[in-house]
């Protein structure tokens, strides 16, 4: 698994103009290929009068799924440069749709490549990106007496507390970078006089 990846901070649209053609780049996060396709379908529906609605998306922390479409532009002049821009910026779980309203001036192949790729790059700069890092899900089980202090200490040291359950004992779900597991285990034993249990779960990604 990748240790980290970047994705778009928020969905949004950025508009540029090149030789009287309008280029509207819509960016949105997409957890699955189905979500990405739904975004493309929605934008095509919103812009049925546009000359072209070209798209590119990258799904998976390891970029396992990559798709691009020129939507009627000359082959390789729209979707591919859009996809290349996403990959160059290490973007994952993201879909880009560039809607073009033709302004009457032909741009040529090189001009189209620069316009479509550049539109995605400018949109990423404008909307912003966030980095997500891989971490290990873990559960701390501790008695009620020590639970409050442990939670406070976790927050104070910047640990991500994902959930807390109160029963006979208190279970605190956290996220840990793999490299920190051994050190955290030692800290927890010291902080609770060895009374807390640490159970490691699967892996996920969270904000850096």
Do 114 and 138 sit in the same domain of this protein? no
Under-70 pLDDT residues of the chain: 1-2, 206-208
Do 106 and 12 sit in the same domain of this protein? yes
Domain count, the chain: 2
Q: Which range of residues forms the domain containing residue 38?
A: 4-127
Give pLDDT, residue 164: 92
Do 183 and 112 sit in the same domain of this protein? no
Domain CATH for 197: 3.30.70.240
Do 181 and 199 sit in the same domain of this protein? yes
Do 157 and 121 sit in the same domain of this protein? no
* Closest-CA residue to 108 (of 199, 180, 18): 18
Do 108 and 138 sit in the same domain of this protein? no
Do 14 and 59 sit in the same domain of this protein? yes
Domain CATH for 115: 3.30.230.30
Q: Which helix (H) or strand (E) holds 144?
A: helix 144-156
Residue-wise pLDDT for 43-60, tens only, equals 999 999 999 999 999 999
Give pLDDT, residue 172: 93
Domain boundary among 91, 107, 127: 127
Give pLDDT, residue 1: 57
Do 71 and 29 sit in the same domain of this protein? yes
Give pLDDT, residue 208: 53
Residue-wise pLDDT for 167-186, tens only, equals 999 999 988 877 788 888 89
Do 81 and 145 sit in the same domain of this protein? no
Give pLDDT, residue 54: 97
Is the overall model pTM greater than 0.85, yes or no? Answer: no
Domain boundary among 107, 127, 147: 127
> Encoding tokens for residue 73?
């532009």
């Amino acid at each position: 698994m990748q240790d980290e990846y970047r994705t778009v901070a928020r969905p949004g649209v950025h508009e540029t103009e090149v030789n009287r053609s309008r280029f509207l780049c819509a960016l949105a996060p997409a957890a699955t290929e189905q979500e990405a396709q739904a975004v493309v379908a929605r934008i095509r529906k919103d812009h049925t009068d546009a000359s072209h609605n070209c798209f590119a998306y990258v799904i998976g922390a390891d970029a396992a799924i990559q798709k691009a479409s020129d939507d009627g532009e000359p082959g390789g002049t729209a979707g591919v440069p859009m996809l290349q821009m996403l990959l160059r910026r290490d973007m994952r779980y993201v879909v880009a749709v560039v809607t073009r309203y033709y302004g009457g001036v032909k741009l040529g192949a090189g001009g189209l490549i620069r316009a479509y790729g550049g539109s995605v790059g400018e949109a990423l700069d404008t909307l912003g990106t966030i980095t997500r890092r891989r971490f290990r899900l873990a559960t701390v089980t501790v008695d009620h007496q020590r639970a409050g202090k442990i939670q406070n200490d976790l927050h104070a040291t910047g640990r991500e507390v994902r959930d807390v359950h109160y029963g006979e004992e208190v279970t605190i779900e956290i996220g840990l970078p793999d490299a920190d597991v051994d050190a955290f285990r030692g800290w927890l034993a010291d902080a609770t006089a060895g009374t807390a249990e640490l159970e490691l779960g699967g892996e996920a990604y969270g904000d850096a």
